[in-house]
Structure 1
Amino acid sequence: MIKNFSTPLFMLLFSCFTMAQSSYYFDNKEIKSGTKEHFLIPISTANNSTLIPVTVFNGVKNGKTLGITAGVHGYELAPIMAAQRLITSIDPKKLTGVVIMVQIANMESFLGRSPYVSPIDRKNLGRTFPGNKDGSNTEKVANYITENIIAKADYFLDMHSGDAPEDLIQYGAYYSNTEMPEISNIGKEMAIALGFNHVVVFNTDGKNYMKKNELSLYCTAESFKRGIPSIDIECGRMGIMEETAIKKNEQSVINLLEHLKFILGKSQKSETEKPSIISNRIYTESKFDGIFYPDKKAGEYVKKGMKLGHVTNYFGEVLQTVYAEDDGLLMLIIATPAINKGETLTVIGKTS
């Protein structure tokens, strides 16, 4: 019989008991402490169906919940393959809290090798949130992620890369709003912790998608709108299976878990360099359908007036010459020939 309830031994045992993680329930299934479970979530309409693969990691200690999505665009392969590796590199026996990871949000885009949109309903999942439970295939997928992953998260990460035609630099990004300073600052620290050389600010002040009755459109815009610190990864280019980009995606998630104290450890990211912050981006669109010839590559610093490429018709006649509209970092440039009127050709970031 223990008579002295203030003894160090009793306090230690009591502390361990109170910190022990309870079972977590997802899709009506129990995930016990220190384990992970895989789910294939069916999504059906009257005309078609799809699946959403999800892995839930339940740690050994109570904590927060991190939601992660990969494959919102199914041809962005580097983060999708990184998510496959994270199935094993996130150890629930060394985890505090819960991680809910969507392996491939847009399965039909992935299987159909379809950039940007699902081949089933031609909708862009990355422009469909919060979705519609009675809508099309893509709208139902967005609704499921919104209600079952985003709504359960304390922090949220959406993993992207350059889609099939996009030569894109690597960066972390966070959502910011002057009316949400605390949440914005947590997101900023999360984005910096990812370990990229550049961090982009998604300033949402005055944006229509932040209004209560407007669609959020973007996955992380939906989570941020709900008061959840929200960040993006952009790592990879042109839908290429580059090992360096896959590893960087994987390590960035581990860095984030360490930063948020989901796991204990020392990050492999550089501690000597602070990332440049990109708060302003300049977009240049094509004025014509045709063929684009890029003269530069993503990651180059350009000067105002510098030629970046040109658009021709189908007979080689130049229709539009594209010049840098300001000094800055060339974040994105279309690297494949086909171009449609109104599509983005280049993005220049102003760094600080």
Structure 2
Amino acid sequence: MLNRVFLLLSTLLLSAFQLTAAPKPFVFNGQSVPAGRKLATLLHITDGRDSTVVPVTVFHGRRPGPVLGIIAGVHGYEYPPIMAAQQLSKEIDPEQLRGTVLLVHVANVPSFLGRRIQVNPQDNKNLNRVFPGKPDGTITERLAYRLGNDVIGRCTHVIDVHAGDALDDLRPYAGYYNYFDTPELSEKGCHMASVLGFPYVIQFGNEPSLKDQASVYCSREAIKRGIPAIDIECGRFGLPEPEHIAQIKQALQRLLGHLQMTESQPAVSIPPALITQRTTVNSTHTGFFFPLVKAGEFIYKGRQLGYITDLFGNHSADVLAPVNGVVLYMMATPPISKGESLFSIGHLPKAAQP
């Protein structure tokens, strides 16, 4: 009888020890990161002619938990996410962390250093249009391939952080993908996006399946791999405005709390409005664009949103709202070409309509 009691107690103690024991070292980029430590490292990418690096900080927690990938700077002119990532890297304490954070400070360093909007100046390709990339492609395609395999593929959750660049006025929001054949993945993404504290959550996809499509986008590469992923869009005109940097950082801290990787962050007091449908307004002419509204404004069908002139300044067309909704983002600089996007309008649920 005593032997059985002793055996039972030994088993319980062993189980408790295993639950509290520090996790094994996390191996990243050929380097071992012990539990409770962090590592700043560079991923090196080259195509034989051009080369670049990706600065990543690995925070390996003292206790086991999720592996969260935070990716900033896929577009190098979108500064608020990059600045927020830099600040957050000084505040995450791996001694207090559950799980592991892979923090990509700037995914597209050539775009960042070259002050280029959307594209990598080395091959003029948009990193957020070439996933999953290619191991033997151009420098941007190889960059996407490394991000997909060395970062995204190592994660249990992913967040890709963006902002409006030099052309765009933008209303901050979060987003997630919804595909009908992966409802659990969509639900996890919805919960992740809803805790960030943004007034709107945009539902992307809304299609039967992603199986027969290329991933194309960074966060959708995670979805393609069966990993819950969300997006942030916060910031305008590429400006590193402190309020947007702080808003992004707080959202990332809320996500860490939601995943129980850190102590819980304050709950969102007002649930976000879910936007499941958007309408894009494209330019019908080439010339100068003059907006009459700003991002975040509520608009009604038929309202004049702006007008276009030709290169001589002669009036070409008025731009009218085709639907009721809220302006999520918009072109806010004068040059415009036929077919370019002017506005993205979110269709608001009745409860969120003014």
Report TM bin, short chain.
over 0.9
Partner amino acid, structure 1, of 2:256: L
Q: Name which of 296, 300, 310 aligns with 2:297.
A: 300
Q: Aligned partners of 2:286, 2:220: CA distance in 1, in Å?
A: 31
The 2-side partners of 1:280 and 1:240 are apart by: 28
**Per-residue deviation, 1:194:** 0.9
- Which residue number in structure 1 is paired with residue 268 of structure 2? 270
The residue number in structure 1 matching 2:352 is none
Aligned pairs, number: 345
- 2:276 aligns with one of 251, 275, 279: 279
Whole-angstrom distance in 2 between the partners of 1:12 and 1:319: 78
Deviation at 1:340, TM superposition (A): 2.2
CA contact (8 A) 2:70 2:159 kept: yes
> Does the alignment pair 1:339 with 2:320?
no
Give the aligned residue type for 1:243. P
Give a deviation string over 1:295-318, Cα, whole Å, max 9, x none.
Answer: 000000001000011121111112
SS of match in other structure, 1:89? coil
Amino acid at match of 2:67: T
User: What pairs with 1:1-352 in structure 2 (closer than 5 Å)?
Assistant: 4-7=6-9, 11=12, 14-19=15-20, 20-206=22-208, 210-212=210-212, 214-265=213-264, 267-268=265-266, 270-271=268-269, 273-352=270-349
The whole-number CA distance in structure 1 between the counterparts of 2:257 and 2:54 is 27
Separation (CA, whole Å) in 2 of partners of 1:268 and 1:169: 22
Q: Matched residue of 2:203: which SS?
A: strand
TM-score, L = length of structure 1 = 0.94
How far apart are the structure 2 equivalents of 1:206 and 1:73? 29
| Distance (whole Å) between structure 1 residues aligned to residue 122 and residue 316 of structure 2 | 34
Deviation, structure 1 residue 351 = 1.6
Runs of 4 or more, structure 1, over 6 Å off, are none
- Unpaired runs of 5+ residues, structure 1, are none
How has the CA–CA distance of structure 1 residues 49 and 237 changed in structure 2, closer, same or farther, with 3 Å as cutoff?
same
In the alignment, the residues of structure 2 paired with residue 5 and residue 247 of structure 1 have an alpha-carbon distance, to the nearest angstrom, of 53
* Counterpart amino acid of residue 23 in structure 1: P
Q: Which amino acid aligns with 1:253?
A: L
1:93 is paired with a residue whose SS is: coil
Deviation of 1:66 after TM superposition, in Å, equals 1.0
Q: Aligned partners of 1:137 and 1:198: how far apart in 2?
A: 35
User: Take 2:127 and 2:253, find their aligned partners in 1: how far apart are those partners?
Assistant: 26
- Structure 2 gaps of 5+ residues are 350-354
Q: 1:45, CA displacement in angstroms?
A: 1.5
What amino acid is aligned across from residue 186 of structure 2 in structure 1? S
Other structure's SS at 2:198 match: coil
What is the rounded CA distance, in whole Å, between the counterparts of 1:6 and 1:314 in structure 2? 85
Q: TM-score, normalised by structure 2?
A: 0.93
Cα offset, 1:7, TM superposition: 4.8
Q: CA deviation at 1:109?
A: 0.6
SS of alignment partner, residue 310 of structure 1: strand
- Calculate the aligned-residue CA RMSD, in Å: 1.7
Q: Is the 8 A contact 2:181 2:208 kept in 1?
A: no
Distance 1:125 1:336 in 2: 23
Q: What amino acid maps onto 1:224 in structure 2?
A: I
**Mapped partners of 2:287, 2:114: distance in 1:** 25
Deviation at 1:341, TM superposition (A): 2.2
User: CA deviation digits over 1:272-296, x for unaligned, max 9?
Assistant: x111011100001112222111100
Kindly, what percent of the aligned residue pairs are identical? Answer: 41
